Structure 1
Amino acid sequence: MLAGLALLRRWRAHRRAAAADSDRPNLVLGINAQVCPARR
């Protein structure tokens, strides 16, 4: 998920630099994507 957040931030920066709409990213994950909650 951290890689997904990094990808989102890079995508948003590139879209803003190109003066394009950066409000609706399209990131599709497969059913095998797993998220592990952080424990403290």
Structure 2
Amino acid sequence: MAGKLRSTDPAPLGLTANIDAKTRIFYATYCRATLTSIERLWG
């Protein structure tokens, strides 16, 4: 379904790209925090 929206309408594409960027930043921050917590536990 997302693929169809992406290929037919440019608006969802821009919206999806924006969400993807925010998601990447969120996951990068989340993973970094998780790794830091693990290092504190094991270090």
| Structure holding more helix per residue | 2
Higher relative contact order (CA 8 A, sep 6+): 1
| TM-score, normalised relative to structure 2 | 0.44
| TM-score, normalised relative to structure 1 | 0.47
Larger Rg: 2
